[in-house]
Each structure stands twice: as structure tokens, then as C-alpha cells.
Chain A
Amino acid sequence: DAGVIQSPRHEVTEMGQEVTLRCKPISGHDYLFWYRQTMMRGLELLIYFNNNVPIDDSGMPEDRFSAKMPNASFSTLKIQPSEPRDSAVYFCASSLWAIPSYNEQFFGPGTRLTVL
């Protein structure tokens, strides 16, 4: 398996532009997570899905951020309009639910976003 795939790996955009980040989870995994990582705030959970349904989006910073998972193999995180403070590395992770052990989250390589 290729692991979690994210695209693009790097994105540079100007303030006010729309940004779309993409993620393909590991095949068969039923949970998908979006994280944001910055030096100041560390790794923060933004939203997660179970079987394509958003379960908890309390970490989404504001209405400019939205996430979708139209099917089991694809998810997007959209920022519209983007602002310089959105500059960060955005990670997607997936996991497979199993009883009773802890369920490891597998992370993608991340998308490094720079908003000028």
C-alpha cells in the first residue's frame, strides 16, 4: 500500500485566494483526520470523519475552513479566503477501527501551505 497520499506537497498562494488540499487515505481505513501543524501551536486536530461522515469539526478554526469526504478514498480541506495566518503544514491521517486495541493513525507526508 502506498500509504496516505496528499496533494499538493507545497502550495504558495496569495491572501484571499481559495486553497484546496487533497487526501487519499489508506484503502480500507474508516477514519480520516485533518491536522494542522505550526511551530506556535503544534499539531492540532481540525476535523475527523468516520465512514465519510464528519464526526467532530470543533477544531476547525473558522468558517473559512471546510472539509468534505465524498467517498471512502478521497477528502478535501478547503480554505476560502486564505489568510497569512493559515500558513502551516496540513496533515491528513487515516486509521482502521478495531476492538479492543488502540488504533494507530497513519499520517501522510503533509502539505506545506504558504499564504503571502
Chain B
Amino acid sequence: QKEVEQDPGPLSVPEGAIVSLNCTYSNSAFQYFMWYRQYSRKGPELLMYTYSSGNKEDGRFTAQVDKSSKYISLFIRDSQPSDSATYLCAMTPSGSARQLTFGSGTQLTVLP
């Protein structure tokens, strides 16, 4: 079993829809949780990060962490065609740890 599981999709939604992307993990030592966005033929770029449990909001994006369930989510409100990309969750035990463990990524397409 992988340490981080992520539904690969693909996920296709109409413009304006609310999108929910999720990851589950097995390592209870993970403390920092990140979402990276990767456009086609580009490198991943950090979208959001959250420390421990709770919610974090940034514009149309909300990241949620539930450590008791070992479950993290990324919500995209009012999705736009420019949000079409692959979204990868990533996590690490602490800020001093350098290794990130990535999910396999969910491919999202927002249709105009």
C-alpha cells in the first residue's frame, strides 16, 4: 500500500462548478500538507500548504486537513478553465524534513 493515495481521475467539470480533490495517507507522522498544481508539460508549483489539522483559504481555493481520519482535501470554488491541470497532494513529517511524499495526482479539466 502506498503511503499517500490519490484518485487519479480524470475529473471533468463544467465551468463554475465546485471541485473536491482528496488524498488519504497512512503515516501519522505527516505534519505539513501541500497541494501542487501541474500544468501540462510543466513542473509542479506549490498552490497551498497547511500545517497540522484545520482549514486554510486562499481566494477560490480551500485546503482542509483531518489528521484523525488521515484525509486531506482541496476545494476549488467557481472553477475556471484555467484551473485545468493535474493536482498533486504532498506531505512531510515536519518542517525540518526535506523529503516530500507525493500522491499520484488527479487530472482536472474544467469545461467552458
* Interface residues, chain A, with chain B CB atoms under 8 Å away: 4, 31, 33, 41-45, 48, 50, 55-56, 91, 93, 95, 97, 99-110, 112
Contact between B99 and A56, CB atoms less than 8 A apart: yes
Asked if B75 CB lies within 8 Å of chain A CBs, one says no
Contacts of B45 in A (CB 8 A): 106-107
Q: How far is the CB of A88 from chain B (nearest CB, A)?
A: 14
A-contacting residues, B26-46, CB 8 Å: 32, 34, 41-46
Q: How far is the CB of B28 from chain A (nearest CB, A)?
A: 18
Of the listed residues B32, B45, B99, B100, the one surrounded by the most CB atoms of chain A closer than 10 A to its CB is: B100
Number of B residues contacting the other chain (C-beta, 8 Å)? Answer: 20
Contact between B99 and A45, CB atoms less than 8 A apart: yes
Interface-lining segment among B9-17, B62-70, B77-85, B102-110: B102-110
Contacts of B98 in A (CB 8 A): 31, 33, 48, 50, 55-56, 95, 97, 103
Sample of 19 further A-B pairs with CB below 8 A, known A43-B102, A45-B99, A108-B43: A4-B43, A42-B104, A48-B98, A48-B99, A50-B98, A91-B44, A99-B95, A100-B95, A102-B32, A102-B51, A102-B95, A103-B98, A104-B46, A105-B46, A105-B100, A107-B43, A107-B45, A109-B41, A110-B42
* Residue of chain A at shortest CB distance from B49: A102
